[in-house]
A and B are shown apart, each in its own frame.
Chain A
Amino acid sequence: MGQLRTDEFDRFVTARWSALLHLARLLTGGDRHRAEDLLQESLVKLWFAWPKVGEQAPEAYVRTVLARAAARSSRRRWWGEHPVDQLPDPPQTRDENAAVDERTRLEAMLSSLPARQRAAVVLRYYQDLPERHVAEVLGCPVGTARSLTARGVARLRLLLAAEAEPVE
């Protein structure tokens, strides 16, 4: 029984590790170490809840634990940015560097959001959850989830527009 539980749990974690780590990374605004810590804590909780949720929806359970823990967090990452005289040239072709640059840009924008807004935006647009489910995961009313998502997207829009403006 214990070995079966261990095997099932291990299979689930092996299969979903990458996706869950990416979700944790988006929820923490790109903080890789904090994302790993958050995921480890969530998986430890999943291990103890595995007899109840193992055959139903373990990923939804982890997602809920992750999102709530990230939304509670008020820690912000300092990106170590320094002003420079000249901006680096934007990449012209879509290569690996461009992908990394885009990810960095996205994570920088997400990290500027408050934790609850960021969690709502990630759940709504990355996980593609309807507003009702976003509210359930965050443990808040639907109106609050809708408001958090709308404010988060509006802020991202502003940030992206400011980034697209030419620098004189």
Chain B
Amino acid sequence: MDLFEQELTRMMRDSEEVTPYEDRHRLRLQAGVRARRVTRAVWTVTGSLLAVAGLGVGLMVLPNALARGGPTGPRPGPVTSAESVPTPTTVRPASTAREMPVPTGTSATGSAPMPYRQSSSQSDSDPVHLPTWTSTTRWSLAPRPGPGVPAPLPTS
């Protein structure tokens, strides 16, 4: 510690004033303690209420979620036991047949999408409209029709 540091230490210590602990300090300290106690109580009550509310919501939501989640749980086995059926892949439960339709092409419902295009393109439910002519250059080579002349129909 050099001279300057010693002088700094002395200045810091000598500059201390004797300040008595007065009643106003005591009263202010007590008021601070009371305020902090109230703040802590409010925080505790708020936290407890939030915890209870969260628990209540969880208890209300959980049974509904469990009730809705029934099919996602372990499925009931087939009517016949596994020992009696040597090849379980050939035997499908009725529920799986609804989930994955077999692409037979003979379904009359029309609601399930077909995995392949049918040969007949005249169906109204066909989402893709194929052009009925083969080349578009015929439009550019043909003479423009006049106002009274009907446009030539494209040949298929």
Contacts and interface: CB of A to CB of B under 8 A. Distances in A.
Interface of A: 10, 13-14, 17-19, 21-22, 26, 36, 40-41, 43-44, 47-48, 99, 102-103, 106-107, 121-122, 125-126, 128, 153, 156-157, 160
B28 A40 contact: yes
Interface in B23-65: 25-26, 28-29, 32-33, 36
Interface residues of B, number: 22
A26 B32 CA distance: 23
A166 to B, nearest CB: 19
Given A13-B21, A18-B17, 13 more contacts: A17-B20, A19-B16, A44-B29, A44-B32, A47-B29, A48-B33, A102-B15, A103-B11, A106-B11, A126-B13, A128-B9, A156-B8, A157-B4
B5 interface: yes
B156 interface: no
A44 B25 CA distance: 12
B8 A40 contact: no
Contacts of A157: 4
6 contacts: A14-B21, A18-B17, A43-B29, A48-B33, A128-B9, A153-B8
Contacts of B12: 26, 106, 122, 125-126
B95 to A, nearest CB: 63
B27 to A, nearest CB: 11
B19 A21 contact: yes
Nearest to B22: A17
Nearest to A128: B9
Contacts of A106: 11-12, 15
Contacts of B124: none
B14 interface: yes
A44 B26 CA distance: 11
Given A125-B8, A125-B9, A126-B9, A18 B18 contact: yes
Contacts of B28: 40
Contact of B36 (A14, A36, A48): A48
Contacts of A99: 14-15
Contacts of A22: 15-17, 19
A-B pairs with lowest CB-CB distance, top 9: A103-B15, A17-B21, A126-B12, A44-B32, A22-B16, A125-B9, A14-B21, A18-B19, A106-B11
Nearest to B4: A157
A121 B8 CA distance: 10
A99 B12 CA distance: 11
Contacts of A125: 5, 8-9, 12
A104 to B, nearest CB: 9
A31 to B, nearest CB: 14
